[in-house]
Amino acid sequence: MKKFRFHIRLFRLLAVLLFGLAMAGWVTLLERLRRDDMMVLRQRLTRRFLAQLAAALPFRLSLHGKVPDRPMLWVGNHVSWTDIPLLGGLVPLSFLSKAEVRSWPLAGWLAHKAGTLFIRRGAGDSGLVRSQLLRHLQHGHDLLIFPEGTTTDGHGLRTFHSRLLASALEAQVPVQPVAIRYLRDGAIDPVAPFIGDDDLVSHLLRLLRSERSEVEIHLLPPLDSQGLSRTELSRQAHTAIAQCLFGGSGVLPVAA
């Protein structure tokens, strides 16, 4: 029975990926025919694809809080690559991701076509990334960042890098804190986290073979960015997410 369930899940996932390939190919064709900004279309198509991808994964999702009705900078804790389809299926979003994702087979190409912004850690391109984030927000596009800069096992919240939130101050847009938690049998899920030397294919196969687990997404009250420094804004977002997940002010401080 478990083997049959695995093959059904795998077949459904492959069907979703084929849809994603067709969608990305269509976007590529339109890019060659049109010269106007296609980000709105990219985000809408990406939301549809990510919602289908999330539905193909073995999760039961519960959503808490109100989905914002205006563009914001979304700030969330980061546990796994699955955070992206689960959150990206809620509203049309773009993402800031590490540059290594761009080289992932298929997933990297799809992320690029979806309008993902890539950052090279330690490469000295923070000024370029900041200007890209600012331009994105000024054009009224929602954007999601993971200011921890890496994934965790879900048991704690790492340092927030406040420089990534500076664009919200400059664009004068609110920050939407979002907390995501994976649970299995009432405890932190050990299967969902994508950490260390794990590779995408191995992790995906483990997920598809596992029992369905619970995912909680908490959309916390938005933070007004006006009149705050980037460190203060980061600390407020960090505290809100930590209190939601762990009932405390966080396990690690906010980095400048």
- pLDDT tens-digit readout, 95-148: 877 767 766 666 666 676 666 777 666 555 666 777 778 888 888 888 899 999
Four-point Cα dihedral 161, 162, 164, 165, nearest 10: 150
Cβ neighbour number for residue 129 with a 10 Å cutoff: 19
Specify the amino acid at residue 181: R
Cβ neighbour number for residue 249 with a 10 Å cutoff: 13
Spatial neighbors of 218 by CB under 8 A, at least 6 apart, are: 64, 65, 178, 179, 180, 181, 244
Beta pairing class for 59-64 and 94-98: unpaired
Residue 108 CA to residue 42 CA, distance in Å, equals 15
C-alpha distances in angstroms, 226 versus 168, 169, 170, 173, 241?
9, 6, 9, 8, 20
66-85 average pLDDT score: 92
177-184 average pLDDT score: 96
pTM: 0.87
Three-state DSSP state, 218: strand
What pLDDT, on the 0 to 100 scale, is given for residue 138? 85
Mind listing the pLDDT tens digit for each residue in 102-117?
Answer: 666 666 666 766 667 7
**More confidently predicted of 247 and 32:** 247
Three-state DSSP state, 149: coil
Using the predicted structure, report yes or no on whether residue 1 has a pLDDT greater than 60: yes
The count of residues in the chain is 256
